[in-house]
Structure formats: C-alpha cells, structure tokens
Amino acid sequence: MSMLIDGLQYANWSEKIFRQMRAGGVDAVHVTITYHETFRETVLQIEKWNRWFEQFPDLIFQGRTAADVTLARATGRTAIFFGSQNPSCIEDDIGLVEIMHTLGLRFMQLTYNNQSLLATGCYEAEDIGLTRMGKEVVREMNRVGLVVDMSHSGSRSTFHAIEHSSRPIAITHANPHSWHPALRNKSDDLLRALGESGGMLGFSVYPHHLKDGTACTVQSFADMIARTIDLMGEDHVGIGTDLCQDQPDSIVEWMRTGRWSKTVDFGEGSADAPGFPEMPSWFHDNRDFGSIADGLRVTGMGDAVIAKVMGDNWLTFFEKSFGPQDAAGKRNDRAAE
C-alpha cells in the first residue's frame, strides 16, 4: 500500500485535527512550527509539540528519519516532521543550523516573501539571488540534512538554490504559474529545472494558489498535476496542501507582516479580504485526500503514478535528504535510518 504524506500544513493544532489525520490515513505531515520567530521562540514551539506528543502518543509522534514514516504506518499513527517557513530561527548564526536539525527541524525556507539574510522573497521587486551567507547556509544545510525549501522565494534565488545546493531542494507548497499567476507559483522553466535536479514540488490547495480560487474544481487541480508531471517527471511531485485549518484570521497578520512592518501586509489575500480564504468544496481537512486521488484517476493516471503523487515520492525524498553528508559531500544513508 502506498504512503500518504502531506508536504506542508500550518494548522491550529488540536486533538480534533490529529484524529482527522488518523481518520484520513495520513502517514506523515511536514508541519510549520515557526515563521518569524527567533531561535528561543522556536524552541518554545517545539516545547508545545513535545506536550502534544506526550498527550496523544497513540495519534502522533515526532518524525526524524524516513524510517519513521514506515513506523507511523505500522503503528497507526502520523509522523510529524518540523519545518520553518523563514530562516529567522537561525537568526544570524550559521551554527544554529545544526542545532535546529538536532532539535528535529527537517525543512527550512530561505525566505518568506521578503528579502532575508539568505535570499530574496517572491514579493520583492528585485531578486538578487542567494547572498554570501545564503550560500554558506545552504552548504551547511546540505551537510547536516536540512532540506532547502524555496516555496516563498523569488525565481532567481530559487534557480540559485537549485544550482548551488549539492542535494535536491524542495518547493513544498506551490503550483505552476502558467496555471495560476500567483506571485508564489513557479514558472515552467523553474519547475523543469527542479525536476531535472531531483527536487520535489508539493502541490498546494490553498485557494490563493488555485485557478479560480475557492471555486477551483478538483478536476482542474488534478489536470494541472497531470500536466506538471509531463513537465517535471512522475518522480518529482507530491502534495503540499498548505492547509491552515482552524486558524483565526488574526494569524494572517503574523504570517504576512511579522515584525518587519508597522502596516498590515496581507500579500496574496487582498486588503479587502484580509482573512483566510474559504477552502474549495473538495478539500477541508485531512480526511479529504481521497478526492485528489479520485481526480487523478479521472485524468487517466495509473495507480502506480497516483501512489507516487500521494506520498511515495515524498518518502523517497525523505530517504535521500534527512541524513548527514560525509566530508566528501556524499549522503550517509546509515545515519538516516
């Protein structure tokens, strides 16, 4: 049986959601634990997760290696893999990259919409690419086994990350710009390069990333996935819903604005609709992944490829990405087991 893995969620976590994960048969989820938080504030988020792991050990546990996905399936639980949507958690200290990995972080975006110390976000007018520190941090992330995530980054910076990283990178939650021209969605040229480099794209169901927004049909979404497979190859795509379930509208201000501005920047959610958009009718929570698989079948996609999209590709990527490299830059597979 194939795995079911979601490449990105940022929910208002609760027992209800954990039980929905189990009802939906979700084996693993990459969860955002931090946006603009400092290192110490990120540690406080990990403390929250440690309490949830203690309270609900029959539902969830912390994932650190790809083998934990298999363990989750065998024990009827969901493995939770930590990620950051901004490099704020390492502040200006490259030494914190390894410490964050030791604490369980497995994905880190180099930017969240804006210019960072490492790279340029997709909302900036000028994209300078990876900075000097960015190149050093990518090298360190490669060494320890922390995935470079360019979901919110500008095009030039993302191309630079693909070229500079010695390990495949990920765009955990975005869609093709040619299908829907959201600022964060990626060009065909970039997605082609991502696939050729062995990287991964997670398709997002967040309405601002969808053609026709909330009114997007599951068949439009599935057809888009099928076309992207033609562009990238069937081994380099998965699901990254960007599900923000049960979050209050106020959290959008923290996601978009953080501490960098005194005014509210709602980004892709326009100023006259500042809250979270309504989800499409076919995906509300973790029990709805079957609707995506059903849509893929209607495209004529075979079961083996559907299995790759729904989780098997992410599992393979985890196997190659979460362990450290040796001094020669080669993966230490034994450390990832």
pLDDT at 132: 98
Q: What are phi and psi of 81, to 5 degrees?
A: -110, 130
CA 294, 300, 302, 306 torsion: positive or negative?
Answer: negative
- pLDDT for 186-236, tens place per residue? 999 999 999 999 999 999 999 999 999 999 999 999 999 999 999 999 999
CA neighbor of 120 nearest in space, from 91, 150, 98:
150
Q: Give the CATH number of domain 5-336.
A: 3.20.20.140
Neighbours of 298 (CB within 10 A): 12
The end-to-end CA distance of the chain, in Å, is: 21
- pLDDT for 156-171, tens place per residue? 999 999 999 999 999 9
Rounded CA-CA distance 199/46 in Å is 27
- What is the average pLDDT across 87-114? 97
Q: Is the pTM of this model over 0.85?
A: yes
Amino acid at 299: T
Q: Is 116 helix (H, G, I), strand (E, B) or coil?
A: coil
Rounded CA-CA distance 262/126 in Å is 22
pLDDT at 267: 57
> Would you kindly state where each structural domain of the chain is located, as residue ranges?
5-336
Of residues 260 and 19, which shows the higher confidence score? Answer: 19
pLDDT at 335: 43
Instruction: Tell me: pLDDT of 266 over 70.
Output: no
CA neighbor of 208 nearest in space, from 248, 136, 256:
256
* Bridge partners of residue 28, in order along the sequence: 5, 79
Please say whether the beta carbons of 31 and 9 come within 8 A: yes
pLDDT at 44: 98
pLDDT at 217: 98
pLDDT at 337: 44
Rounded CA-CA distance 265/257 in Å is 6
Tokens of 148: 């470079």
